[in-house]
Amino acid sequence: MEHQHQYDAQGRQLCCTPQEGKIYKDAGAKKLLEEHDHDHNDDDGHNHDHDNSDKTTFQMFLPAIISLAVLLSGIILDNFIAQKWFASWVRIVWYFAAYLPVGLPVLKEAFESIRKGDVFSEFLLMGIATTGAFSIGEYPEGVAVMLFYSVGEVFQTLAVSRAKSNIKALLDQRPDEVTILENNQPKTIPADQAKIGDIIQLKSGEKLALDGELISDSASFNTAALTGESKPDTKSKGESVLAGMINLQTIVQVKVTTAYEDSKLSKILEMVQNATAQKAPTELFIRKFARIYTPIVVGLALLICLVPYFFTDNYVFRDWLYRALVFLVISCPCALVISIPLGYFGGIGAASKNGILFKGSNFLDIIANIQNVVMDKTGTMTEGVFKVQEINIKPEFDKNELLKMVNALESKSTHPIATAIHDYVGEIDQSLELQNTEEIAGHGLKAIVKGKELLIGNFKLMDKFSIRYDIDPSKIIYTVIAIAYDGKFAGYITIADSIKEDAKQTVEKLHNLNVKATMLSGDKSTVVKFVAQQLGIDNAFGDLLPEDKVNKVKEIKSKNETVAFVGDGVNDAPVVALSDVGIAMGGLGSDATIETADVVIQDDKPSKIPMAINIGKQTRKIVLQNIILAFAVKGVVLILGAGGLATMWEAVFADVGVALLAILNAVRIQKMKF
């Protein structure tokens, strides 16, 4: 059973430290971090946690500092200030004292790994190599190898801790408590106890814990936690506000509309939590590789030590054992099994910082190879907010009177076009009486107003009721709403939504990445082609049904090309399923979007599409760099070690040095500008 926080009558938290209490069980932060450690430990035998979570950096380095001090004093007594007493058992004990602070924890880890059934761990390799060095009298080298290995371990632990703290920061987006108004009196309660309909009082600088509706006249919010955008977002009365937003003004009131666990932020956090579970193929390969690679290397080390006995005349066991020990130190797969998952982890973190959420590291790999981006029009490349462009009413009709009737009838519809007409005309004339109101699917609306028939819709509606008109609808670019009154064509209204300000830049960036752009829309063909022409989109198709979109995507995939589809993730579910990567725009507006898509762009900006592709490419580049670096250096030094040309010092560089370089390279992605 999961731990439940305890609160007193005033709503104050009685259990857990404040830091621990901020990590929500609903968001799964603890589960994520525990799984990350457990996953890492089980799969590659290498856990960088070592109970260091509560230690300072100095405390983590203290054993290495003590070991270094004793080692250096021993080397000085050996080579620079020779002392007669520093010989025999005293010398052995001295170096053994230098070995213990750094060697004992590693030997303990090796024992624990063997007990759990993971025999060929990195800890065992280091234990064999250093105790072997002691057995042949190479005391300073044995201590030095373990010392540098331990220092490397601390640096690696710090790198993993930093990655984990980034995830904690992402998960820790909501306060544990909220202040609600009860009989107009403020009362603090646990956030997960707030009910739908409660009124939250949010002070300036406070973070909202649940989704709701703003009931104050207006408020300005920092939405950086959700969208990656630092620009304040001003909301008006009645608009939706989401968990994670920070109030920037005076006290505001928000009515709770969604349960704590169902908020958009909870779903986003759940998605980030699950992202670490879906591994990229490279990551999975490295894990499997490490399991096979390590025992093979141990076997080769045994062969290096023993086989030359049968082929050389002057076989010296000590020399060949030394070569085998060097070979073991070099062989540790640390650089690969730590830096590669860390690279993908960094890629997901970098994307999250920019308001792009990947459902798994596997999608970072897939999106890096995308050749086609197929996009919807409305809400993706355009604002999705329709505005009246032109009103063309015949002179024999009273324009103002007709528009009042149109506005009254359109108020019966929830279509965005109705909203556009209402915004243009204004308040509805309540004195107008509508009779026999009817919505004709796929055509428009019909009603009796002032005893005469009013028709509003497309030109198919005009044809259906045999209304004659003297214009060619195909020559009008925008969406057209035809109007007929008393059996006569009265004119038309054109409506369009505006292109997003970064849409053109998006297409240019896609072309720079050698990605083709295609627009598929159910909107009128003339509108779709007009928008595509303005943006420089390669191919555009309008008047499409969902099955038509599926056929168009199949057509692209039949050329053996990869496809990312960008849409709302709900209406276009069949296309999202068919595409290699489904990208959802407006993840903050739709629960179903978060459920359906592989990648969610939180702030509706199409410019995040090429950014997501670029993050995927950079992540893949860093992972490949680390693989090449590790294999190249280890390969060269392994050959030199087997031939007796590499000492323990080169072995330390091949293991710890390369691992540190790979880790530094992996965390670099979090600092990149995209």
Instruction: Point out the residues that are catalytic.
Output: 376
Q: Are 594 and 219 in contact (CB under 8 A)?
A: no
- Which residues, 6+ apart, have CB-to-CB distance to 506 below 8 Å? 381, 535, 606, 607, 609, 610
| Other Cβ atoms within 10 Å of 565 Cβ, number | 28
Q: Which residues contact 415 (CB under 8 A, 6 or more apart)?
A: none
- Do 605 and 505 form a contact (C-beta atoms < 8 A)? no
Q: Residue 23: which of 161, 164, 166, 176 has the closest Cα?
A: 176
Q: Please return the burial class of 539, using the count of CB atoms within 10 Å of its CB with bins 0-12, 13-18 and 19+.
A: middle
Contact call for residues 508 and 366 (beta carbons, < 8 A) = no
In angstroms, rounded to a whole number, what is the distance separating the alpha carbons of residues 579 and 277?
A: 21
Q: Which of 343, 371, 651 is nearest to 518 (CA)?
A: 371
**Burial group, residue 146, by CB count within 10 angstroms (0-12, 13-18, 19+):** buried
CA–CA dist 666, 340 (Å, integer): 7
Confirm if 460 and 443 have CB atoms less than 8 A apart: yes
Query: How far from each other are the two terminal CA atoms of the chain, in whole angstroms?
Result: 43
Half-sphere CA count of 264, side-chain side, radius 13 A: 27
Residue 165: CA count within 13 A, CB half-sphere: 11
Distances from the Cα of 366 to the Cα of 114, 376, 612, angstroms? 37, 20, 11
Supply φ then ψ for residue 366, to 5 degrees.
-65, -45
Q: What is d(CA 578, CA 372) in angstroms, rounded to the nearest whole number?
A: 13
Give the CB-side neighbour count of residue 2, counting CA atoms within 13 A.
Answer: 10
The alpha helices in 354-445, defined as continuous H runs, are 361-368, 399-410, 416-425
Tokens of 413: 């519809």
Measure the CA–CA gap between 23 and 25, rounded to whole angstroms.
7
**Residue written as token pair 């108004």:** 181
